[in-house]
Structure 1
């Protein structure tokens, strides 16, 4: 087995986020559930919502892509696979991720749906309500997943959101087989409770078949997986089925389980929550960087908490501070 060129290769939605300050009243009037993520299936509906939003800020996003951006900021070599279209937003996404030093070679799609975009409404309490038009991202072909790139990553990191579309789901299944053939580890982030509700049985098939080495989830997703409101029991029972489980608890910190090892850390304190967009993604970046550096569970969790705190201190899902220096200063 050759040494991997990248610590993590991720497959996820290639999305450009459009962030706008909003109000609770606007969220309610639009019939949205505050703090949730809803899919928009019609490009005209996405354009209609965009026309009613306030001034927006365009920032490349996508859950797994945000994690990869965080890892790159921490100095870890990474790669990303995701489908963009041959349009302006596709060029924005490709430029942004390549500028971070991330390997990104997925050819843009011509014709068909435009590049995905996520319309994010941020209320004064920092909560984000996301409305996502997946566009070209959901049509990631199996041909975009090549054995050389997958085999070059020590960990293959899969975004649960992308499991909803049949074509991209088939591509990720192909990637899992390639990673296994190359002797690499596979990580999955569950992404959202609606993803769990739609694919719970499939995820357990993967887990029970030994195809998932590392599972990322928040407490709501763990509850949905185990179908119980008892979070302590849900975490315990899910941790017994997967080699490594990382569960985030928002302002109440995070915990990780690996075999008989267990660690829990509090959330990193900040003065003011500005925008929670991408907090879980950057937490995963910090944790994965810690693991790549040979850190123990507790230190890896702390790195995740530090990265998440930096993320929620400003608008947008990508880090603005020097994460490498920030983590070093916090860890001492």
Structure 2
């Protein structure tokens, strides 16, 4: 299965704060916040939601097509992605802007404060999906990106008759209700976390039932509680998370889940198996620093699934993990 992943490509600057953000907030001074956090650690990592998901799909044996806009500084990052099995032929290089930057501070409770510089990402709206994807993909995943690019690529996928998956995530805060509705209506898959699910309903002025009726399958990640998978007219499916003893860094866990889920779906596996593999990949991300610091080792993933869900669950994933399952 050929999956095109349209979205952000960025460099992540990840910092660790040894205290709690909440301890630094003075309730009667919230209108005048001026804070500086002395951090213990800084990691510079490759990131961006589209690149993270494409990396995970490549690790799991697919050859995803990455669609996004970057700066002239992208060279070493591109080599890395190609080595992981990612097709970068549809990546646009800006002549003027640098690759996007994500700057994030994480406290000891895994709360995060972040900023995102769009840079070259703002030029992603110039990418023509039909021209970029010379080999027609079987699915287009539209992730957080320049909002105009998200709308354009959703419209182009629909116009070309290509199934698409909607993953608006962080950009929901910038979208109008009409734009958010256009990005999700008709999606084969809709991905959100729990907060984004509530924000999507608020932003569009629609009930969860209305949104669910407009998509094929709605997949909502619930953090340590796992994932909820819903289809209109059917009972919801809850998949427990794969236990992770110590969270090294939460950045990119949702992207890892999406890669595992879509890889299993591409192999024709049922929703429950797809959810379980997604949770196993997410746990691997949590074990490492940065969203592309993990290796999706089939043996380790099979062991995680076996420990969390049983031997039969691991065996069901053999189309993706091979004999290790």
Structure 1 residues 207 and 17: alpha-carbon distance in aligned structure 2, compared to 1, 3 A threshold:
closer
Paired residue secondary structure (2:80): helix
**Cα distance between partner residues in 2 of 1:71 and 1:298:** 18
Structure 1 unaligned spans of 5+: 1-5, 32-48, 164-168
**Cα distance between partner residues in 1 of 2:174 and 2:197:** 11
Counterpart position of 1:214: 189
Counterpart position of 2:262: 288
- State the 1:308 CA deviation: 0.9
Q: What whole-Å deviation, never above 9, does each CA across 1:74-102 have from its counterpart, x for those lacking one?
A: 11221101111112xx2232222222111
Q: What whole-Å deviation, never above 9, does each CA across 1:199-225 have from its counterpart, x for those lacking one?
A: 3321213444x3x22110111111112
**Cα distance between partner residues in 1 of 2:20 and 2:225:** 28
Paired residue secondary structure (1:23): coil
Q: Which runs of 4+ in 1 moved over 6 A?
A: 26-31
- State the 1:187 CA deviation: 0.8
CA RMSD of aligned residues (A): 2.9
Whether the 8 Å CA contact 2:249–2:286 is kept in 1: the answer is yes
Counterpart position of 1:44: none
- Which among 287, 306, 311 is matched to residue 285 of structure 2? 311
Counterpart position of 2:65: 79
Q: Any residues of structure 2 matched to 1:188-267 within 5 Å, and which?
A: 188-192=166-170, 195-196=172-173, 198-208=175-185, 210=186, 212-227=187-202, 235-261=208-234, 262-267=236-241
Counterpart position of 1:57: 43
Q: Are positions 1:154 and 2:150 aligned together?
A: no
**Cα distance between partner residues in 1 of 2:295 and 2:54:** 16
**Cα distance between partner residues in 2 of 1:298 and 1:61:** 28
- State the 1:25 CA deviation: 5.8
Q: Which structure ranks higher in relative contact order (CA pairs < 8 Å, sequence separation ≥ 6)? A: 1
Structure 1 residues 196 and 133: alpha-carbon distance in aligned structure 2, compared to 1, 3 A threshold:
closer
Whether the 8 Å CA contact 2:227–2:238 is kept in 1: the answer is yes
**Cα distance between partner residues in 1 of 2:237 and 2:297:** 23
TM-score by length of 1: 0.78
TM-score by length of 2: 0.80
Paired residue secondary structure (1:83): strand
**Cα distance between partner residues in 1 of 2:129 and 2:213:** 31
Structure 1 residues 57 and 27: alpha-carbon distance in aligned structure 2, compared to 1, 3 A threshold:
farther
- Which among 59, 82, 94 is matched to residue 109 of structure 1? 94
Counterpart position of 2:30: none
Whether the 8 Å CA contact 1:14–1:116 is kept in 2: the answer is yes
- Which among 5, 14, 24 is matched to residue 10 of structure 1? 5
- State the 1:57 CA deviation: 2.0
